[in-house]
Every structure is written in C-alpha cells, then in structure tokens.
Amino acid sequence: MVIAVKKEDLIKEAYRFGYFVGYKGHTEWVSWIAGKKREIYRQAEELGIYKEVKIAYEKGLQDGKERRMKEVAQGLEKLEDEILPEKPKVENVEEKEEIEIEFSRFSKTPKIVEPPEILELIKALEEPKMLTLPKMLGKEE
C-alpha cells in the first residue's frame, strides 16, 4: 500500500513539475530543471512506472504551455502576486534555489488540477479488486 501511494505521488509530482516548466516557460535543459526531471524519472524506474511518469510529465508540460498561451492570448495573465503569497525577501540566493522555491510554491497553488488522464494513470496502478480475498476469508480487524 505504501508503494502504491508513493507511485501515485510520483505521477502527480511529474505532472505538476511538467506543468510548472511549461507554464513558466522554463527551458528543460537548464541544470536544475534537467536534474529534477532526471531524479523523477530515476525514481519512476525504481518503482517500475517510468512510462506512466513520462506520460504524466509530458502531459503536464503540454497543459502548462497551453494554459500560458491561452492566458497570453486572452490578455488575462495575472501577476504572480495576485495568485501566490508574497515571496519572502532573501538576498544572495542562488538561481537554483529561487527556482526550487518557485516550483514548491507553484505546485501548491490551485492553478494545477490533475486532468482525468493523470488520474487514470494513477488508478491503473491500483491492485484489481478481483485479486483480493473476499471479506469473509480475509483478516478480521
């Protein structure tokens, strides 16, 4: 059960990170972004869900880009200050840390809602109910 939750969380993280990269217009080959993506994919390989995580990341990337383009085209792009809480004033913070903080804040906003395709990927990880013992044969609690 713990592994299933970890798999679900990793798929969500991949989608949200892809969405962040696409929406913010970051370049994927920038060192921090490339490293984060590599780490997500490495964890996915360990859990045996590389394909699902890759699909989630790419869907997030596409959805983020589409939303940004739609907002730009409509002239409705809001300032970050209207959406996100005020950024803490930190001097001499490296760019990598700034982007990590930005992603952390961004991934917790209501801007990102996993689409049905991502939720279907997560549901595909669940153990089929027909493979479990009937309640009358299972453990009593």
CA distance readout (Å), 140 to 20, 127, 134, 135: 45, 20, 12, 8
For the segment 81-126, what is each residue's pLDDT rounded down to a tens digit?
455 555 555 444 566 677 777 777 776 666 566 666 676 666 666 6
Q: What length does the chain have? A: 141
Q: Which residues contact 122 (CB under 8 A, 6 or more apart)?
A: 7, 8, 11, 12
Taking the C-alpha atoms of residue 15 and residue 121, their distance in angstroms, rounded to an integer, is: 11
For the segment 44-87, what is each residue's pLDDT rounded down to a tens digit?
999 999 999 999 999 999 999 998 888 877 775 454 545 555 55
Q: Of 3, 1, 7, 18, which is closest to residue 106 (Cα–Cα)? A: 18
